[in-house]
Each structure stands twice: as C-alpha cells, then as structure tokens.
C-alpha cells in the first residue's frame, strides 16, 4: 500500500523563525558560558564590540553590546583567551546566528586571582608590604636604572620622559623579558643586577606597558615581589595601565600607574630646580641690597646730624660751657676771698696783739739776761774779785790746797797774771 504523502513546504522565513524560536527558547543556549579565543576584534565607535570567538576547530560570531560591556574591567585583545557568558541570537533574515555576550572574563582569571590573593596574604604576613620598609625616592637622582624589555613601549616612554625632564640624566637599562614563562626570573635577575654597588644606581623603575591580565602576571610572581622588596636601591613599580594593580606595586617603594608616570615620579624637572636656585639667589641679593640700603640710610641720617655737619658746634658749645664754668669758679673764688678777708678784718688785731706779746717777752728776756749777767762770775770779778787757779787750772777754793812756792794763775775779769805764793796763812 502506498500513500502519496504530500510534502509540507515551509518558507525560508518559516524555517528560520522555527530555528530562532527553538534556539532562543532553549534554556541551555540562551544562558551559556563559552570558552574561546578572541579574533577579528572591532571596537565600534557606537560602543559595541564585535569579534569572532574561536577555538582549534570552530568559530562563532559574537557581539558585546555597549549596555553590557560598559562594566568590562579589562581590554579585549586579539588572541586573548576568554570566558564569555550570554545567549545565541538568530537572524531570521540571513539565517545566521551570533553569540550575544553579556559578560566576559579572561580565562583562568579566577584561578590566577586566587593564587595572587594567597601569595599576597603570605608575603603580607612576612611584612614585605609594610610601610616602614618603604624607602624615600632620591630628590635628584644622577643615575636611573630601568628594568624592562629593551624593545617594548615602556622603555621608550621612560627614556623619552626622563630626557625631557632632565637632559643630562644617566640611564642604565637592565633588560628583562616582561611576559611569558621565564619573564619573572629575568625581571628578578635584572633588579638584583642593578642593585650591585658598581652600577651606582640612585633609583630603579621596573615595569612594562599595558597588556592582558596574563601578560602582567610576572609582576605578581613571588620571585619578582621578593626582588622588589629586597631592592637596596629605591624602586618604583610601573606596570600596565591605570587599572592594573599587580603585587609589585605593593612591594615597591613607590607605585606609578604607567611607565611614563614612573619617570615623572623619579626624575625632577631640571629647569624647575635651576629656576628655584635662581629665585633664591635673587631673593638673597634683594634682601642683601635692602639691608645695605637700610644701613646706608641710617648712616646718612646719622651723618646729616648737626654734630657731623658742623663739628665746631660741639666745640663752641663746650667752650661756652667751659667759659661759663670758669667765670663761675672765678666769681665764686673772688667772693670767697673777699668774704674771708672780711671775716679776718672782723677778728681782733692778732698782729698787734702778737707784737705786744713779743715786746713783753723781749722785755722779760732782757731782764732775765740782766739777772744772768749779774750772776756771771765775770760780772762778779768785774766788781774786783779774781780767781786763783792751780797748775792744773783748777780753781783753788781753800787755803789748804795751796803751799808756799806754788805757781798759780790769777784770773781777772779782763785778763790773768802768773804768781808765786810767798806765804800761806790760814784763818779760823
């Protein structure tokens, strides 16, 4: 038995509508996570992001509308491995479908983030991130050390900014790989190398330009963090863009959002410093000349005083004082003399009294002299008495002292005579 089955003919639109309905109502296909790599990435001016998500064997178109991507924390890049969440949308008109992305994250980010958090906790407990460990950046570094890839954008940015700010700076680059498997070891080695005293480095900038989360991973590796923390030379972490915050930022003495910013942090603007010195010199010169002018004015005021203008003035006035004093003294003396004289005149006439007294005394003296004269042996002898002296010129006071025949001397008032005793006769 054969039945002729009349086939049901669908229009293309009907089929596409059916598919759309099947797909978009399928709970599995409307909210699903897909793992893949980003290709043919377009950031459209409308704010929507278009790309192809692919893996080794297949690809699918994806759209990430503005309303959904505005909270995206990282920048999508070609070749980036991502996890995207969303649903399938079917275009009935073209019979095509695409993945409507509602959320995206770098693949493996969750695992890595967890590892970073664990490392952060461990190193923090060791005190590697302590504020007290942070060294001050030098005010005027003469030698800047750079740890980064010699072929990357970071080294160019740092050199450009450093030379612009300070044209005669010395720069030493210690090359390092900044992404990939062995990057961490090369970064740590370069930091250690620049710490050797022979390089005489004043400040180090270590970092790299922006990249994917994985690209920045070396700056989250323990060996790199320890090299940052152990740097004897002050070190600045300069990794990626503003939004990136690797652990090296915590371990460094200072963290800069970008390599260019790190150069600005490390190197002062030479002309600013030169201007500052000139400004201070001008201030000193001005205040010195002010000071000088003040003293000069003070001196001028002093010199213009009458005493200096007319030095005889002081002599004249002193002379007048002197003359005045002199005349006062003279007058006083005159006055004194005359008053004393008057006093003297008022006193009884001492002179006369004295003369009288002296006359009296003279008279007394004459009387006494007269008496004395009267008593003198010579005076007595002048009245007729004489003295007999023996051979020894002793006065003979008794007849008993004399014998007949003795030679004697007879003294008169006006002379003497030699005699010989003829006879001796004692009376009574």
Partner 1 sequence: MEKDKKLSPKTSFEDALEELEDVANKLEGGELGLDDSIKEFEKGIKLARYCQQKLEEAERKIEILQKGADGEVKPGRVAVKPDTGEIENEEDLQGSLI
Q: Note the residues at the interface with partner 1 (CB under 8 A).
A: 138-140, 142-143, 149-151, 155-161, 163-164, 166-177, 182, 185-186, 189-190, 193, 199, 270, 273-274, 276-277, 280-281, 283-285, 287-288, 290-292, 294-295
Element spanning 339, H or E? helix 311-346
Q: Which is nearer to partner 1, 155 or 255 (CB)?
A: 155
Report the C-alpha gap between 60 and 101 in whole angstroms.
12
Q: Which is nearer to partner 1, 291 or 382 (CB)?
A: 291
Residue 203 C-beta: closest distance to partner 1, Å: 12
Report the C-alpha gap between 422 and 286 in whole angstroms.
141
Q: Report the 10 Å Cβ neighbour count for 221.
A: 21
Beta pairing class for 387-389 and 407-412: antiparallel
Residue 276 C-beta: closest distance to partner 1, Å: 7
Q: Which is nearer to partner 1, 177 or 411 (CB)?
A: 177
Residue 239 C-beta: closest distance to partner 1, Å: 17
Q: In this structure, are residues 194 and 202 in contact, taking their beta carbons and an 8 Å threshold? A: no
Residue 19 C-beta: closest distance to partner 1, Å: 52
Residue 190 C-beta: closest distance to partner 1, Å: 6
Q: Which is nearer to partner 1, 47 or 150 (CB)?
A: 150
Q: Which is nearer to partner 1, 135 or 156 (CB)?
A: 156
Q: Which is nearer to partner 1, 193 or 406 (CB)?
A: 193
Residue 132 C-beta: closest distance to partner 1, Å: 22
Residue 271 C-beta: closest distance to partner 1, Å: 10
In whole angstroms, how far apart are CA 140 and each of 133, 169, 251, 261? 21, 10, 23, 17
Report the C-alpha gap between 206 and 215 in whole angstroms.
15
Report the C-alpha gap between 376 and 365 in whole angstroms.
16
Residue 35 C-beta: closest distance to partner 1, Å: 31
Report the C-alpha gap between 263 and 153 in whole angstroms.
13
The 3-state secondary structure of 154-210, one letter per residue: HHHHHHHHHHHHCCCCEEEEEECCCCCCCHHHHHHHHHHHHCCHHHCCCEEEEEECC
Residue 166 C-beta: closest distance to partner 1, Å: 8
Residue 214 C-beta: closest distance to partner 1, Å: 19
8-state DSSP, 246: -
Q: In this structure, are residues 137 and 263 in contact, taking their beta carbons and an 8 Å threshold? A: no
Report the C-alpha gap between 15 and 238 in whole angstroms.
56
Q: Tokens standing for 427?
A: 């009376």
8-state DSSP, 425: -
Q: Which is nearer to partner 1, 81 or 165 (CB)?
A: 165
Q: Which is nearer to partner 1, 49 or 254 (CB)?
A: 254
What are residue 84's DSSP bridge partners? 34, 104
Count how many Cα atoms sit within 13 Å of the Cα of residue 2 in the half-sphere of its side chain. Answer: 1
Q: Which is nearer to partner 1, 145 or 246 (CB)?
A: 145
In whole angstroms, how far apart are CA 302 and each of 11, 243, 308, 318? 118, 72, 8, 21
Q: Which is nearer to partner 1, 92 or 170 (CB)?
A: 170
């Amino acid at each position: 038995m054969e039945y002729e089955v009349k086939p049901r003919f669908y229009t293309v639109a009907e089929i596409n509508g059916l598919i759309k309905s099947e797909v978009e109502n399928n709970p599995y296909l409307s909210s699903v996570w897909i793992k893949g790599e980003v290709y043919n990435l377009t950031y459209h001016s409308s704010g929507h992001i278009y790309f192809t998500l692919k893996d080794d064997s297949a690809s699918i178109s994806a759209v990430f509308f503005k309303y959904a991507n505005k909270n995206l924390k990282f920048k999508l890049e070609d070749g980036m491995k991502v996890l995207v969440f969303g649903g399938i949308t079917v275009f009935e008109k073209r019979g095509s479908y695409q993945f409507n992305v509602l959320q995206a994250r770098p693949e493996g980010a969750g695992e890595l983030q967890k590892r970073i958090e664990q490392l952060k906790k461990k190193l923090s407990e060791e005190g590697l991130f302590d504020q007290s460990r942070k060294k001050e950046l030098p005010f005027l570094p003469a030698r800047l050390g750079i740890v980064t890839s010699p072929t990357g954008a970071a080294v160019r940015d740092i050199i450009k900014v450093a030379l612009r700010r300070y044209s005669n700076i010395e720069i030493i680059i210690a090359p390092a790989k900044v992404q990939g498997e062995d990057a961490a070891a090369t970064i740590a080695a370069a930091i250690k190398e620049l710490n050797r005293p022979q390089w005489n480095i004043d400040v180090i900038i270590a970092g790299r330009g922006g990249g994917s989360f994985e690209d920045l991973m070396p700056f989250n590796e323990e060996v790199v963090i320890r090299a940052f923390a152990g740097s004897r030379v002050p070190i600045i972490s300069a990794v990626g863009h503003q939004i990136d915050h690797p652990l090296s930022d915590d371990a460094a003495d200072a963290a800069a959002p970008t390599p260019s910013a790190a150069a600005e942090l490390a190197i002062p603007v030479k002309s600013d410093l030169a201007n500052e010195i000139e400004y201070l010199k001008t201030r000193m010169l001005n205040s010195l000349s002010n000071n000088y002018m003040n003293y000069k004015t003070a001196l001028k005021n002093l010199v213009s005083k009458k005493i200096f203008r007319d030095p005889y003035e002081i002599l004249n006035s002193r002379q007048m004082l002197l003359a005045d004093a002199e005349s006062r003294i003279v007058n006083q003396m005159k006055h004194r003399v005359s008053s004393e004289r008057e006093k003297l005149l008022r006193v009884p006439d001492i002179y006369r009294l004295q003369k009288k007294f002296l006359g009296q005394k003279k008279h007394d003296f004459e009387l006494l002299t007269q008496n004395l004269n009267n008593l003198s042996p010579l005076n007595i002898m002048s009245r007729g008495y004489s003295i007999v002296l023996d051979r020894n010129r002793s006065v003979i006071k008794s007849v008993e002292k004399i014998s007949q025949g003795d030679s004697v001397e007879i003294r008169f008032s006006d002379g003497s005579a030699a005699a010989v005793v003829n006879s001796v006769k004692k009376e009574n």
